[in-house]
Amino acid sequence: MVVLGCVLLLGGLIALLAGALDLRWRRHVRADGVAVFARIVDRPLGPEDSPDGYRPILAFTTEDGRPVEIFSPRRVQGEAVLVHYDPADPAQVVVYGSRGRADVAFVVAGVVACVGAVVGMVLAP
């Protein structure tokens, strides 16, 4: 039971750390990044693409005039969205209004796993 508790504790700590680091990164990009409007544009399907795996492109221009195109987390073609990008790496963006629910879920799951592991190890015979 102690081995299982240690494995659960390690997994919980990894999930907690991953979620917390990504939340911290999002906060950093929102606070210190550059805000621009990006447009969701269509991209032609390539031979390696499957129609069900298609995602449009999020296109914007940085403050210094560099064009950036990345896969869009949204699918509404033609929509203009506010993004914050990291000036050091403009491909790293946070779309305005995205809350990072997966990050919060990782933090919560990590806390639950850690508490469960500790309680299980303490109460184990």
pLDDT digits (tens, 9 = 90+) for 71-120: 887 667 778 899 999 999 999 999 887 766 888 899 999 999 999 999 98
Is residue 81 packed enough to be buried (19+ CB in 10 Å), middle (13-18) or exposed (0-12)? buried
50: pLDDT strictly greater than 70: no
List of residues 6+ apart from 35 with CB closer than 8 A: 82, 83, 84, 96
What are the domain boundaries of the chain?
2-123
What pLDDT was estimated at residue 55? 74
Which of 68, 69, 82, 86 is closest to 37 using CA atoms?
Answer: 82
What pLDDT was estimated at residue 75? 67
Question: What is the rounded average pLDDT for all residues in the chain?
Answer: 86
Query: Residue 77 carries which DSSP code?
Result: T
Q: How far apart are CA 35 and CA 85, in angstroms?
A: 7
Q: How far apart are CA 10 and CA 25, in angstroms?
A: 22
